[in-house]
Amino acid sequence: MESLCIVGNGGVSPCQSFTRLETTNVSLRPRAQLGFGCFVRERCKDGNLVIARSGRSEVGNPKDGNFAVENEKERKGGGLILGPERDASGSVIGFNLIPPPGDGEVLKSHKDATTGGTEEAEDIEGVEKVQTRVTHSIVFVTSEAAPYSKTGGLGDVCGSLPIVLAARGHRVMVVSPRYLHGGQADKNYAGASELDCHIKVYCFGGEQEVAFFHEYREGVDWVFVDHPSYHRPGNPYGDSRGAFGDNQFRFTLLCHAACEAPLVLPLGGYTYGEKCLFLVNDWHAGLVPVLLASKYRPYGVYKDARTILVIHNLAHQGVEPAATYTNLGLASEWYGALGWVFPTWARTHALDTGEAVNVLKGAIVTVDRILTVSKGYAWEITTVEGGYGLHELLSSRRSVLNGITNGIDICEWNPSSDKHLASNYSVDDLSGKVQCKIALQKELGLPIKPDCPLIGFIGRLDYQKGIDLIRWAIPELLEDDVQFVMLGSGDPLYEEWMRATESTYRDKFRGWVGFNIPISHKITAGADILLMPSRFEPCGLNQLYAMRYGTVPVVHGTGGLRDTVQAFDPYSKGGLGEGTGYVLFLNTLALHGFPGNS
Ligand SMILES: Nc1ncnc2c1ncn2[C@@H]1O[C@H](COP(=O)(O)OP(=O)(O)O[C@H]2O[C@H](CO)[C@@H](O)[C@H](O)[C@H]2O)[C@@H](O)[C@H]1O
């Protein structure tokens, strides 16, 4: 496997461990961890930020959504040619500006850089350093960004990708809410100080005043939008009684504030200005491109800004009754962008006209580019089964739709330095892994049996994750000599089931209800197998963490799981076998739910 390590901060860092650690798994060799843009980062002991890129990377290829390359070519003019856009089968699906063949690759040396391109890689003592030659002002808009806020993978990606892009030389701002839930996590914002800038945004029938907090960390401007509606117990989206009823209001505020932030916040002395690239994540940030098109550009503002929608999960679209449109602070003539009509079968009663506003739909029709977090999912969302009603719309935008597999933070997820583990280990010395298993069994009060297969599950307790499939399989599975540990929170029904199962199978099953990052690391290291029977999975991060920790992923072959886990083939390599995990395909019954299992 070819692997490339790149050092930021101008330093040289020996991060050879990246390549070696990818092969932590002994019998099943993991493939490269791919990045969103194929990057993963590692902060080495000397404090340098190291960015690693997989050998299969498509970085720098605009066809795969590398906006930096494309925008640069556009700016220079003449660097792009009009050419046919083809789908996977080779059929022409449109015409687009594309770079000349061979252009847009990440350059491997300064020498190459003289001929054009946007990024330079310098080989210093076997470590390649990549710096972009054209920098952009990038504004991430997201409902969560770790370590400030995180309920799942969106927080992981928006907490680490901005740092990687900043290390490449871009100016990067992340705009997300300043949640105060009244618990320990509020301390996460301790480093952010209030900016002397309060703005008023017009939505929901009046003026809403928001403030901004700011922290400059790891080269990134972390900007937090402050408003009383973000201050309440629970998580970013809801509490034990379900989703908050005013989420449309809370995320409308976020989008309005995010559009103002580059114009009004003098970060480090000067604003980002109008010429920036907005990376809007999921529906919560989906109003940003609509606002740019409807509120700013008609007045000549943000003419040169570009927008990319990143779809981490199409199942959530921000759909509310049509009557709420007037709350959004958009001109009435833009209703068509968000307007959405449910099919007859999905309506609730005979008088229901099915009319609604769909924020994600508004983003899809107004953004410049659409990205998903794996290539497989980029295709799936154009199908009836995976499109959640938006497949036709997404198919119509196929020429600007790409998938780039998520990367992981290999600094946080590194078994040789993970501070949460009882014992660190690496591909060179795996003895610590069994110590992690024993420590996990001890901590959870399970019988200490190093030879007993330990299966783990970590994730949101949601229909997406196939929890009901686990629930259905548990009685039969636990007839064998195995242990099963689940960590998750979400649907109260599944939380209750986990507690009940634990009391039924005291010696075999543990269900940790809640959100606990140290335990997630301990399970990833201590388990032998990580189970991910997701019905759909845009990318999935836990299987990537598992492969890095020598834990065998057993996954449903969907979306990013299929893209990243190489199914073990016992016959390849002359019977030695090859693969990084097991890929299963669920039948229709399993996919659509078992009777009585809802
Ligand atoms: N109870 C708990 N305690 C501690 N940690 C917990 C936890 N529950 C989940 N996590 C952590 O949250 C993250 C979950 O990431 P995933 O990518 O698996 O799923 P998610 O569906 O949230 O993300 C969506 O966005 C991401 C990012 O694009 C896509 O990979 C994914 O397919 C898509 O569904 C992991 O870091 C996991 O360890």
- Could you give the CA distance from residue 102 to residue 332 in angstroms, rounded to a whole number? 46
What mean pLDDT value characterizes the chain?
Answer: 83
- Reported as a single tens digit per residue, the pLDDT across 439-457 is 999 999 999 999 999 999 9
Beta bridge partners of 51: 6, 41
pLDDT tens sequence across 386-431: 999 999 999 999 999 999 999 999 999 999 999 999 999 998 999 9
| CB-ligand 1 contact for 235 (6 Å cutoff) | no
For the Cβ of 489 lying below 6 angstroms from any atom of ligand 1, the answer is yes
pLDDT given for residue 347 in this prediction: 85
- The reply to whether ligand 1 has any atom less than 6 angstroms from the CB of 541 is yes
Q: What is the pLDDT of residues 487-541, one digit of tens each?
A: 999 999 999 999 999 999 999 999 999 999 999 999 999 999 999 999 999 999 9
Centre of ligand 1 to C-alpha 150, Å, is 9
Cα(77) to centroid of ligand 1, in Å?
41
- Which of 201, 195, 198 lies closest to 215 in space, CA to CA? 195
pTM of the shown model? 0.81
Answer yes or no: is the C-beta of 488 below 6 A from any ligand 1 atom: yes
Question: Which atom from ligand 1 is nearest to the alpha carbon of 543?
Answer: 18
Q: Is 96 in the pocket of ligand 1 (CB under 6 A)?
A: no
Q: Is the CB of 517 under 6 A from ligand 1?
A: yes
ipTM: 0.98
CA dist 387 → 220, 316, 437, 536, 580 (Å):
34, 11, 40, 11, 29
Residues 54 and 426: their CA atoms lie apart, in Å, by 19
Judge if the beta carbon of residue 515 lies within 6 A of ligand 1. Answer: yes
Distance 140 CA to ligand 1 centre (A): 19
Residue 21's pLDDT band, with cuts at 50, 70 and 90, is very low
Token code pair at residue 15: 């991060």
26-45 pLDDT, tens digit each: 233 333 333 343 334 444 33
Ligand 1 atom at minimum distance from 541 CA:
17
pLDDT, position 343:
83
For ligand 1, is residue 380 a contact (CB within 6 Å)?
no
CB neighbour class for 185 (10 Å; exposed up to 12, middle 13-18, buried from 19): middle
